[in-house]
Each structure stands twice: as structure tokens, then as C-alpha cells.
């Protein structure tokens, strides 16, 4: 298998990054750290905003109050895990925790730009010129932070995607006016140049840096990539790779990305969202040589093979773990009922995919409400499934919420981390194929048959 050597650690090509949102939520986010052994050395994406208490936010963890004692991000997460288990007791009593060292992971730091931009805007009282100045200061702090904690890879600091259309910001008129008054493309170019200057001034900067690529249309995306390459030339300074931003949701991009695709044979659901990341990957790959390309937020199951064969080398997604968040208290009492009379939100289990021995599973790839999964369905053989033993066991743990909250959390992690392992497995399998068509021939499931129709049209 091909891989990048990242500070002595192997980053397979392609790789799925698990998103650790500890500090940006509670409950499941804590347990994802506690049970980290179930996904082994799967690389991790961390959001700077969530682990930085300089930016006040809901669910912030006291663990991030003072990081001065840490020189490695892996050590920080080892301590967090130990505290959650030993001091907070956030572990199921029926499970014996195993040794685990977060330093085996490749860590990627992303800025979570939008929330930081909001914070900065407020702190300068929505004054445009002060905002631009402050932004550069925060950018330097971000890079310093990544260097101090020895993050392996860092995504270049930028403004992020399209702000004005974010629903939750409609109420904040001053922020909206400020953002409407700045030319995002220009500001991003300034940040990019400041990044290059920062890196050239630092003799030895530890993290590998990904240049963020943006653009409303495919043409803008290509132009942005060209500007990055020109800047590299001007400063004789090369980024390690590229991070594709602003393309994770097709609802937020210009329809010129996918307007020419004929969805009549495939339907749009589960396919339309694969087009923009795949095309963005192609655009950047054409210009990037053999350098790494990470598609931010684009690691959903249907995206992975398309992205890879179009040129991306890694991606991340919070969805595998997020799907367990749908389970309500009421659902824990009804989990053995395949069709409850009321509408209840259940945690969802990823079915389909590929068993750990490489066999294609017969179920269509999708997330199914836990109560609708057959008690005796065979499991995939990943570490989480081995621990679970059976769907029936998962349901039993899930149903115990009222008497043992940790049993319920445990069942949710077994489900979520199984889904993460499935995303990882898919990455391992596709690496063995020379083309998307070869892969689809070997794994002719419904998903791949539909995706082939889209891939053909890219």
C-alpha cells in the first residue's frame, strides 16, 4: 500500500480522518476518546476552535485551559482519555479498557475558521480595517499553536466558505454587513501570502501545511490553485499539499459544479453530493503534481472512492459518529421493536460495506435505525464489532440507558466506531485498484453501480 511518511508515521493513500470533536460537544464526544482503541491508528482531524478556550464556546473542556505543559498533541489526548476514564468514570463497567497511545495517530489541525471569524468580528466591534489586522494576528497564533503541540499536518488559516448564506447568521446583522463588505477572495489571498511569509520566516516549522483552496465555481477553484502555485514560486516556498474547502455541501455551492450531470438513471439522493468534491479533486490534482490533497468534510461513504480516483488522497467526515447521536431516551425502550407505533429517533448503524476479510457485504450501504437491524445480522469483523459480538448485544446495551447510562454510551460507540472502521476499510480496498471501474467490477454493489454512472460524466 502506498503511503506518505508523516514525521515517521505512515499515512496511507488514501486515508479517512476520524473527526474528534471533544470540546465541541459532550456525551458521545467524551466516549469517542475513551474508546479510541477501537479505531487504532486511524488518523484524526481536530478542530482548533473546539480545543482552544481563548474562544469561548459551549461545551468547552477545562482540559484545554492550560496547554503549556504539552509539547505533543498525542500526550494531551492521552491525558484527556485517562481523566475521562479514571476521574470522570465515563466508561462501561462491563468493559475492561485497553492500553492506548494517541501518539500512533497522524493529527491534522483545522482552524474551524467560521467560528473564529465570528469571534474576531465581535472583538473588534465589526470594524473592517481592525478586523483584517486582527485576523492576521489570530492566524499567526494558530500556526504557533500547531507548532507547539507538534500537530503533524495543519490546514492553512482562511475565512472558510460562504458566510452570508449560513442560516444561523441571518439574525446577526452587523456580522452579515461586515462579511458583505469584505472581498473574501482578496482576504483569503492576503492570508495565504501572510502564511507563506510566516513559514519562510520560521526556520523549522514542524507541521506539514496544506494550502486551502476555495472558489464559488470550478473556474474560481482552478484560478485559486494557480494563485497558490504562483505564490509558491514568488517566495520559493512549497506547501506540503492542498486542502479543498467549501465543497462539502452541494447546497452551498454554485450549481455550475453539478448542473450538467444527468441524474435520471441514478437519482440525486446519495449521488449529487459526490460531484463537487470529485470535480474539485480533479481540478487541483491536474495542477498539484503528486502532492497530498485533503478534501475537507468530504469523507462520507459514497464520496470516498469518487474522491480518490479523482485525485484526493485523504478526507474526513463527522457523519459516521454523528449518526449515533439521533438516539433518544425513548428509543432505548423500544429498540427491540422493529416498527414502533410512534415516530422515535434511533441511533443508526452502518450496514453494507466490506467485511474486514475483504468480502463485499450484501446489504446496500446505508445507515439503518438500530431497531430495524436484524438481531442476527453478521458483523464486519472490525475491532468494535469483535467487541460487540452481535447486534443483539448492541441492542441490549443500548436498552440499558435508564439503569446504566454508560452501557448505552458504549453501545453507541460500538456503532459509531464500526462505521469509522468501514470508512477506513473502503480506503484500504480501493488503494488496490488502478481505476474506479476496476474497483466497481470487483465490488458491484448498488452504490458503486450508481456512482459509476456519475463518474462517467465528470
d(CA 387, CA 95): 9
Among 418, 423, 450, 452, binds Zn ion (CB under 5 A): 418
φ, ψ of residue 433 in degrees (nearest 5): -110, 145
* Number of Cβ atoms within 10 Å of the Cβ of 272: 18
- Where is 241: in which H helix or E strand? strand 241-244
- 275 binding Zn ion? (CB under 5 A): no
- Closer CB to Zn ion, residue 237 or residue 360? 360
d(CA 76, CA 64): 9
Cell of residue 234, nine digits: 514568488
Cell of residue 404, nine digits: 446504566
- 394 binding Zn ion? (CB under 5 A): no
Are 116 and 158 within 8 A, CB to CB?
no
Stretch that binds Zn ion, among 1-9, 333-341, 415-423, 434-442 (CB under 5 A): 415-423
Stretch that binds Zn ion, among 203-211, 232-240, 271-279, 414-422 (CB under 5 A): 414-422
Cell of residue 21, nine digits: 470533536
- Closer CB to Zn ion, residue 143 or residue 349? 349
Stretch that binds Zn ion, among 4-12, 40-48, 148-156, 381-389 (CB under 5 A): 381-389
Which of 174, 139, 140 has the alpha carbon at shortest distance from 159? 139
- Closer CB to Zn ion, residue 53 or residue 393? 393
- Closer CB to Zn ion, residue 214 or residue 425? 425
- 351 binding Zn ion? (CB under 5 A): no
Binding residues for Zn ion, total number by CB under 5 A: 4
Stretch that binds Zn ion, among 107-115, 262-270, 331-339, 373-381 (CB under 5 A): 373-381
- 412 binding Zn ion? (CB under 5 A): no
- 380 binding Zn ion? (CB under 5 A): yes
- Closer CB to Zn ion, residue 418 or residue 450? 418
- Closer CB to Zn ion, residue 25 or residue 381? 381
Are 335 and 398 within 8 A, CB to CB?
yes
Report in angstroms how near the CB of residue 357 gets to Zn ion at its nearest.
12
Q: Which residue has 467524551 as its cell numbers?
A: 30
- Closer CB to Zn ion, residue 109 or residue 385? 385
Stretch that binds Zn ion, among 30-38, 105-113, 177-185, 382-390 (CB under 5 A): 382-390
d(CA 316, CA 42): 11
- 373 binding Zn ion? (CB under 5 A): no
d(CA 171, CA 268): 31
Stretch that binds Zn ion, among 217-225, 276-284, 317-325, 375-383 (CB under 5 A): 375-383
- 382 binding Zn ion? (CB under 5 A): yes
* Number of Cβ atoms within 10 Å of the Cβ of 177: 12
Report in angstroms how near the CB of residue 427 gets to Zn ion at its nearest.
15
Beta strands in 304-431, from DSSP E residues, in sequence order: 314-317, 348-351, 366-369
d(CA 326, CA 331): 9
- 348 binding Zn ion? (CB under 5 A): no
- Closer CB to Zn ion, residue 330 or residue 372? 372
d(CA 140, CA 135): 9
- Closer CB to Zn ion, residue 44 or residue 382? 382
- Closer CB to Zn ion, residue 380 or residue 454? 380
Instruction: Spell out the alpha helix ranges (H) of 71-217.
Output: 73-82, 113-123, 128-148, 173-181, 184-201
Span between the terminal Cα atoms of the chain, in Å: 27
- Where is 214: in which H helix or E strand? none
- 187 binding Zn ion? (CB under 5 A): no
Stretch that binds Zn ion, among 5-13, 149-157, 231-239, 380-388 (CB under 5 A): 380-388
Report in angstroms how near the CB of residue 415 gets to Zn ion at its nearest.
9
Report in angstroms how near the CB of residue 393 gets to Zn ion at its nearest.
13
Stretch that binds Zn ion, among 171-179, 250-258, 333-341, 379-387 (CB under 5 A): 379-387
- Where is 9: in which H helix or E strand? strand 9-12
- Closer CB to Zn ion, residue 267 or residue 389? 389
Q: What is the crossing angle of helices 184-201 and 218-235, to 10°?
A: 30
- 385 binding Zn ion? (CB under 5 A): yes
What does the binding site for Zn ion look like in residue numbers (CB under 5 A)? 380, 382, 385, 418
Amino acid at each position: 500500500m502506498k503511503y506518505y511518511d508523516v514525521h515517521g508515521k505512515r499515512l496511507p493513500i488514501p486515508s479517512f480522518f476520524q473527526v474528534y470533536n471533544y470540546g465541541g460537544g459532550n456525551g458521545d464526544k467524551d466516549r469517542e476518546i475513551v474508546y479510541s482503541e477501537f479505531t487504532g491508528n486511524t488518523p484524526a482531524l481536530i478542530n482548533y476552535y473546539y480545543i482552544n478556550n481563548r474562544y469561548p464556546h459551549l461545551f468547552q473542556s477545562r482540559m484545554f485551559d492550560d496547554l503549556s505543559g504539552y509539547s505533543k498533541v498525542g500526550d494531551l489526548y492521552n491525558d484527556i482519555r485517562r481523566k475521562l476514564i479514571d476521574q470522570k468514570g465515563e466508561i462501561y463497567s462491563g468493559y475492561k479498557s485497553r492500553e492506548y497511545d494517541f501518539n500512533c495517530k497522524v493529527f491534522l489541525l483545522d482552524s474551524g475558521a467560521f467560528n473564529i471569524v465570528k469571534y474576531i468580528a465581535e472583538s473588534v466591534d465589526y470594524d473592517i480595517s481592525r478586523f483584517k489586522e486582527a485576523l492576521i494576528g489570530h492566524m499567526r497564533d494558530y500556526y504557533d499553536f500547531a507548532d507547539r503541540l507538534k500537530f503533524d499536518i495543519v490546514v492553512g488559516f482562511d475565512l472558510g466558505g460562504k458566510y452570508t448564506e449560513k442560516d444561523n447568521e441571518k439574525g446577526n446583522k452587523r456580522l452579515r454587513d461586515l462579511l458583505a463588505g469584505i472581498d473574501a477572495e482578496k482576504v483569503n489571498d492576503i492570508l495565504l501570502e501572510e502564511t507563506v511569509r510566516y513559514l519562510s520566516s520560521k526556520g523549522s516549522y514542524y507541521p506539514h501545511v496544506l494550502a486551502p483552496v476555495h472558489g464559488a465555481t470550478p473556474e474560481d477553484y482552478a484560478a485559486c490553485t494557480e494563485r497558490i502555485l504562483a505564490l509558491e514560486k514568488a517566495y520559493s516556498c512549497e506547501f506540503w499539499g492542498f486542502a479543498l474547502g467549501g465543497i462539502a455541501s452541494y447546497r452551498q455551492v454554485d450549481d455550475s459544479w453539478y448542473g450538467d450531470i444527468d441524474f435520471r438513471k441514478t437519482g440525486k439522493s446519495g449521488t449529487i453530493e459526490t460531484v463537487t468534491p470529485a470535480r474539485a479533486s480533479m481540478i487541483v490534482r491536474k495542477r498539484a503534481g503528486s502532492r497530498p490533497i485533503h478534501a475537507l468534510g468530504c469523507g462520507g461513504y459514497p464520496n470516498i472512492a469518487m474522491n480518490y480516483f479523482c485525485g484526493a488522497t485523504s478526507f474526513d467526515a463527522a457523519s459516521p459518529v454523528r449518526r449515533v447521536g439521533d438516539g433518544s431516551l425513548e428509543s432505548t425502550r423500544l429498540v427491540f421493536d422493529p416498527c414502533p407505533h410512534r415516530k422515535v429517533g434511533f441511533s443508526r448503524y452502518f450496514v453494507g460495506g466490506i467485511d474486514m476479510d475483504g468480502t463485499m457485504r450484501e446489504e446496500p450501504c446505508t445507515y439503518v435505525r438500530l431497531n430495524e437491524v436484524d438481531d442476527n445480522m453478521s458483523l464486519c469483523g472490525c475491532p468494535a464489532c469483535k467487541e460487540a459480538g452481535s447486534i443483539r448485544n448492541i441492542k441490549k446495551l443500548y436498552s440499558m440507558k435508564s439503569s446504566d447510562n454508560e452501557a448505552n454510551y458504549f453501545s453507541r460507540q460500538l456503532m459509531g466506531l464500526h462505521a469509522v472502521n468501514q470508512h477506513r476499510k473502503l480506503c484500504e480496498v480501493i488503494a488496490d485498484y488502478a481505476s474506479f471501474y476496476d474497483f466497481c467490477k470487483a465490488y458491484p454493489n448498488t452504490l458503486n453501480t450508481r456512482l459509476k454512472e456519475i463518474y462517467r460524466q465528470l
